[in-house]
Structure 1
Amino acid sequence: MEQVPLLIQNGFLCDPANGLEGQFDLLIRDGKIAWIGKDPEIAAQALCVMSVPGAVVLPGLVDMHVHLRDPGFTQKEDILTGCEAAAAGGVTSLLCMPNTKPAVDSVETVEYIRQKAEAAKAHVYVTGAITKGLSGKELTDMAALQQAGCVAFSDDGRPVENAAMMTAALKLSKELGTIVTSHCEDLSIINGGIVNDGAVSKALGVKGMHRSSEDYITAREIILAETNDCPVHIAHVSTRLSVQLIREAKTRGVDVTCETCPHYFSMTEEKVLSKDADYRMNPPLREEADRVAVLEGLLDGTIDCIVTDHAPHTPQEKADFFTAPNGVIGMETSFAAAYTYLVKTGKMSLLQLVEKMSVNPARRLKIPAGTLSVGAPADITVVDLNRDWVVEPGKLHSKARNAVYKGMTLTGKVMTTFCGGRLVYTG
């Protein structure tokens, strides 16, 4: 169906990819950005006009760490509902993780995801599994998976425990022009822990997850990437030592990038004293010194991307603190949380935030996103930066309700989202 040309008028455009910051009009035609400027004659030609005075117009957000739970766990989430949540959060492109059932270790599963995503309200990019069944025992046919559409590889949810196998994956991924994302948690160190190992785990009388589980695998991946001259991406960084290890690696020229999530720079382990399983995730909320280190890593460029690690679970699964699976949802709150804790507090500019939530992940994944350039896909997020709103899980678009910011007031509300020129959300 042909799209009617639409003019977004009176908005403040913010596009770090082009160094663009100012009040301009933007014309969408045939699913792409056709023009940006201030020409009244062109504006007069638009058949449809959307005036957004006081709002900011951003390139659609890119979330490179999302669990859509589809196939296999659709009671938690599915591709369509996950993308509904994405659109409501201003996310127009997302990278789904392979820990589904079956795992994303075959061309057939990749094709299933891509076909179902054709009806979704966001662009869905696929992460292929590094090992068959995420078992860590045998490499997948990464070349075939890439040919089928995978843009990255990971065994996310668990590490690749065998270093030789990880080395082989890094080398092959480099040949294919893709990226390996590493879930840095040594399971033998965690050994059944459910929260950060420290004062809070002791107070609760539960087994803790020692920070060395993350630091050890982070250090290993850096060494493997450096000695084999391969790129690597480190998932959900949460500890001060991991931040330091990545910082030092970057100064040596190692091709390492990394991500963190809003909860790691806005919350600490004290949250789990409530015995509310919605504050349990992997890796866990850490200590104040870790929160500060993650924040510093964001500000000095050590941490490249802000993602959600959107991990839906049913309310029934999350009911019991001690037995619940780890994970939180976040796509509808990620921008507001990051804006509230980083930009509103004066720690970071809006341009810098958009860089970490849109430009950098798009570039690392080599996908056509993260920019308002003329000719680029019309993936656009319009936000009211002055609007405060309370996070009410029952009003979110995900099937799940395990929202880590529930009951909290955040600033910055997504008003409108366009994906490929289609209006996919208005609120």
Structure 2
Amino acid sequence: MTRRLLRGVRPYGAAPMDVLIEGGIITSITPAATPGPLVLLPGFVDLHTHLREPGGEEAETILTGTRAAAAGGYTAVVAMANTAPVIDTPALVRRVLAAEAHADVHPVSAITHGLAGTSLVDMEPMAEEGVRVFSDDGRCLADPALMRTALRRAGRSGLLVAQHAQDPVLAGGDTRALDRTGVVLDVQEWPALAEAVIVARDVLLASDSGARLHICHVSTRASVEVLRWAKSRGLPVTAEVTPHHLTLTEADAAGRDPRYKMNPPLRAPDDVRALREALAEGIIDVVATDHAPHPADRKALPWPQAPFGVIGLETALPVVVEAMRSFWPPGDGPSWEQVARVMSTEPARLAGIGERHGRPIAVGEPAHLCLVDPGADAPVTLYGRSANTPFAGRSFGVRVVATLRAGEPTHDPDEALD
């Protein structure tokens, strides 16, 4: 039986403890004789990861993507279905589950065959393989009748339907909201309304069906207000926000640097404030990275040709901490309990893996954990296959120094673990 002792760590930033792990389980937590600086948190769970395999291995693989995940403190990731081929059959689910990985991988099934938005995947066989989340992410399921049927079928089995909220007519073909200063005038505006209209429609459909609806990567105040209405009525609707939408604005994309080209686009400062407030209040339930790797040569293309997306697994924690500092009392450190809620506990619950991941740091619980240095001042290091992020090379005041999955290190570059 493997035995490991974490000496002087601070669970959730509280008093230093010695945490004993045996056989992948926390077996003892006792006051530490020698305190240390590291904060101990539950391993993070990403509800929205693009691992690109099968079909996009030049950008990322399951192995490299989960290596990046482990470097960011993640012990489980939910892998989106927009691969090539699309994950819409039990055989492809099994293929993903069989791959070598540095974190637990939970495949998402497409809602519709081939993400075409015309015929629904048979959900029951996918659920039998362990799928708990269905999404056509990357494309909005725009047909309201089909979405209503999908929600009803999912509702019968307690499955989660996750929508990429983007009305295809209102959004047009642009990749960024029009700069409010009017500097950029050669692109078609993608209004916030294109997102909020779908959020509102699907909230009503979920209310009608009683099914669980999840809204991916919310980016606007208008969407937040719809979600607030849904929450006030107790509807089974949840939502996520990405680290980059919590920190970046349309002004960052004004120069049309493809590193800032993402879907949904960056929005106005007022939208960013609304997203931060909604996350703090629980109107938005979780942080999800929408980790979207691309080869360097493709991402370096001119803005119109460059693909959407930014990686986020390695940078999520420091970016989120930076974004949320405004909600912590002056002079206080981060609210590590809040970080654990939005990056571990709630994502695990929504993904249907809450019995194993996102667990409290307590005796008898699985040792899916990460160690955080709250006083770090070092540039971000990337471990995945792609580097398309505007945060590369930036220094943050927080970093993950080690990650354990069932007590075994999956990331420990500084040998923080004995």
The separation in 1 between residues aligned to 2:208 and 2:161, in whole angstroms, is: 16
Picking from 55, 67, 75, the partner of 1:92 is 75
**Alignment correspondent of 1:366:** 352
Moved more, 238-247 or 364-373: 364-373
Identify the residue that residue 75 of structure 1 maps to in structure 2: 58
Whether 2:37 is the aligned partner of 1:37: answer no
Q: C-alpha separation between the residues in 2 aligned to 1:52 and 1:344?
A: 28
- SS of the equivalent of 2:239 reads strand
Quote the residue 2:116 is aligned against.
Answer: 135
Counterpart check, 1:207 vs 2:188:
yes
Contact (CA 8 Å) 1:201, 1:207: kept in 2 or not? Answer: no
Contact 1:8-1:52 at 8 Å conserved across structures = no
Matched letter for residue 312 of structure 2: G
Equivalent residue, structure 1, for 2:370? 381
CA distance in 2, matches of 1:407, 1:209: 30
1:405 aligned to 368, 388, 391, which one? 391
Equivalent residue in structure 2 for 1:222, among 200, 203, 219: 203
* Residue 243 in structure 1 maps to residue 235 in structure 2: no
The alignment's TM-score, normalised by the length of structure 2, stands at: 0.93
* 1:193 and 2:158 aligned: no
- SS state at 2:404 partner: strand
Q: How does 1:250-261 map to 2 (within 5 A)?
A: 250-261=231-242
Change beyond 3 A, Cα 1:405–1:412: same
1:9, distance to aligned residue in structure 2 (A): 1.3
| Residue segments in structure 2 that go unaligned for 5+ positions in a row | 414-418
Q: Which residue of 1 aligns with 2:7?
A: 9
1:342 to 324, 330, 336: 324
Residues 33 and 377 in structure 1, CA contact (< 8 A), matched pair in contact too:
yes
Residue 273 of structure 2 aligns to a residue whose secondary structure is: helix
Aligned-pair CA distance for 1:52 = 7.5
1:168 matched to 2:149? The reply is: yes
CA RMSD, 1 decimal:
1.8
Q: Provide closer, same or farther for how the CA distance between residues 52 and 235 of structure 1 changes in structure 2, counting only shifts above 3 A.
A: farther
Query: Which residue of structure 1 lines up, in the alignment, with residue 382 of structure 2?
Result: 396
> Cα distance, 1:366 vs. partner?
2.2
Report the Cα distance in structure 2 between the residues aligned to 1:234 and 1:385, rounded to whole angstroms.
Answer: 31
Contact 1:92–1:122 (Cα < 8 Å) also in 2: yes
Q: Distance in 2 between matches of 1:363 and 1:327?
A: 26
Shift of 1:388: 1.7
Aligned counterpart, 1:23 = 16
Name the counterpart of 2:416. none
Please list every run of at least 4 consecutive aligned residues from structure 1 whose deviation after the TM superposition is greater than 3 angstroms. Answer: none
Is this contact kept in 2: 1:68–1:79, CA < 8 A? yes
Instruction: Tell me the residue number matched to 1:62.
Output: 45
Give 1:46's aligned residue.
Answer: none
Kindly provide the CA deviation profile for residues 50-100 of structure 1, in whole angstroms up to 9, marking residues without a partner as x: x88110000000110000001011111010000000000001111010000
1:333 to 285, 302, 315: 315
Aligned ranges 1:108-147 → 2 under 5 Å: 108-116=91-99, 119-147=100-128
Indicate the larger mover: 382-391 or 89-98: 382-391
Task: Provide the aligned length of Structure 1 versus Structure 2.
Answer: 405
Deviations 1:272-291 (A, max 9, x none): 12221011111011001101
Q: Distance between the aligned counterparts of 1:269 and 1:183, measured in 2?
A: 20
Amino acid at match of 1:369: H
The Cα shift of 1:202 comes to 5.5
SS of the residue 1:22 aligns to: coil
Q: Secondary structure at the match of 1:296?
A: helix
Which residue of structure 2 aligns with residue 321 of structure 1? Answer: 303
Report if aligned partners of 2:47, 2:77 keep a CA contact under 8 Å in 1: yes
Give the C-alpha shift of residue 36 in structure 1.
2.2
Cα shift at 1:248: 1.1
Task: For 1:63 and 1:261, locate their aligned partners in 2 and report how far apart those are by CA, in whole Å.
Answer: 10
Q: Secondary structure at the match of 1:57?
A: strand
Structure 1 unaligned runs (5+)?
16-20, 41-50
SS at match of 2:173: coil
Q: Which amino acid aligns with 1:335?
A: L
* Preserved CA contact (<8 Å) 1:55 1:383: yes
Specify the alignment match of 1:158 in structure 2.
139
Q: Is the 8 A contact 1:272 1:280 kept in 2?
A: yes
**Residue in structure 1 matching 2:85, options 102, 115, 121:** 102
Amino acid of the residue matched to residue 29 of structure 1?
E
AA of the residue aligned to 1:27: L
Residues 206-261 of structure 1: CA deviation (Å, up to 9, x unaligned): 22322111011111110101122221111101000000110111001111111101
| Residue number in structure 2 paired with 1:48 | none
Write the distance in 2 (CA, Å) between the matches of 1:221 and 1:291: 23
The equivalent residue for 1:417 is 403
- Once residues 355 and 180 of structure 1 are traced to their aligned partners in structure 2, the CA distance between those partners, rounded to angstroms, is 21
Deviation at 1:340, TM superposition (A): 2.0
The alignment's TM-score, normalised by the length of structure 1, stands at: 0.91
SS at match of 1:168: helix
Indicate the residue corresponding to 1:288 in structure 2.
269
